[in-house]
Amino acid sequence: MKYMLLIYQGDTPLPGSDEWERLSEDEKNAVYSAYKAINETPGATPGLQMAAPETATTVRVQEGATLTTDGPFVEIKEAVGGYFFYEADDLDAAIELAALVPAARMGGAVEVRPLVER
């Protein structure tokens, strides 16, 4: 089964932020190592980091008119910060990999969602 793992940054410190700079070199290296290991996991398709939620444009269509709003639709803490795909034997394997994502233990979350295969 194929899964999409959506990484919600939450309060996770991001490189370049003051919070990130307060982490020790060991903590920073652990984050980089964890993502490297995830990207090298058989069945995982490395995703891409997304720009900050503040850079988003939300699009809606109401009564035939396209409306745009600067910023994300959700609260910034709930915004998706990245994603990747994983082909696993079952949900338990996908959950196990999701638990290795640094954001899952540093103030964020990872949503595991099966893909519909036709």
Residue-averaged pLDDT of the chain: 89
What local confidence, expressed as pLDDT, does residue 44 receive? 95
User: What distance in Å separates the CA atoms of residue 113 and residue 5, rounded to the nearest whole number?
Assistant: 6
Per the structure, the count of domains in the chain is 1
* Alpha helices (H) in the chain, listed in sequence order: 18-21, 25-39, 91-98, 102-105
pTM of the predicted structure, to 2 decimals: 0.81
Tell me the CATH number at 69: 3.30.70.1060
What local confidence, expressed as pLDDT, does residue 72 receive? 67
Angle at CA of residue 13, ends 79 and 23, nearest 5°:
170
List pLDDT tens digits, range 55-99: 888 888 999 999 898 876 666 667 788 899 999 999 999 999 999
Contact 39/46 with Cβ under 8 angstroms? yes
Spatial CA neighbour of 3 closest among 59, 84, 86, 95: 86
Residue 34 reports pLDDT greater than 70: yes
Residue 39 reports pLDDT greater than 70: yes
Range of the domain at 15: 2-114
